[in-house]
Amino acid sequence: MTSELLGQALFDGALIEEASKKSGLVWVRGASAPAARPLWHVWHEGAVCLVGDGPGEQPLPGLTDGGSAEVTVRGKDKGGRLVTWQATVSEPAPGSPEWEAAVAELKGKRLNAPDSEEMPARWARECRVLRLTPTGSVAPPPTGSLAERPLPTPATTREPVPAALPRLLTKRRKRKQPK
């Protein structure tokens, strides 16, 4: 490996690690998933660690043990895309040293948990803990638009503004003017 390629590989690895450590949210698309999903995570021992697919936890569609995933990390300042990288997905067995280490980090970052003390036991029973380890492959910056249709949701937009509302607002402003 030439020194230029080695330097680029080291730079890519450092970029992936620093961006992933600082961002509280990553966009992940599993090999069989139709679109990327935002997921909270922690960076631990060279990989993004996730917990989900259980009651009250985030969904992890398309992420299977031994599969691959595409991870996009956003910047903390403006929320723009910093880096997109390929990852290998692994699912450590509950109770294994690798699982225990990941769960200890995830537990510290999990906000609004209804059962903070019982969380590791619940995760072992009902959820999946995944590690997304970078393969070293960083995607080049996109040249076109990355706009996608939103995922289907039962949420709706606001109702149209009532026709009389602009008149009511105008009258209030007129009353407040000094005489």
Q: Which domains does the chain have, with CATH numbers?
A: 3-142 (2.30.110.10)
* Higher pLDDT, residue 54 or 158: 54
Q: How confident is the model at residue 173 (pLDDT cuts 50, 70, 90)?
A: low
How far is the C-alpha of 22 from the C-alpha of 42, rounded, in Å? 9
Percent of the chain with pLDDT over 70: 94
pLDDT in tens, 3-30: 787 888 888 888 899 999 988 899 999 9
Q: How confident is the model at residue 1 (pLDDT cuts 50, 70, 90)?
A: low
Output DSSP code: residue 113: -
How far is the C-alpha of 96 from the C-alpha of 120, rounded, in Å? 13
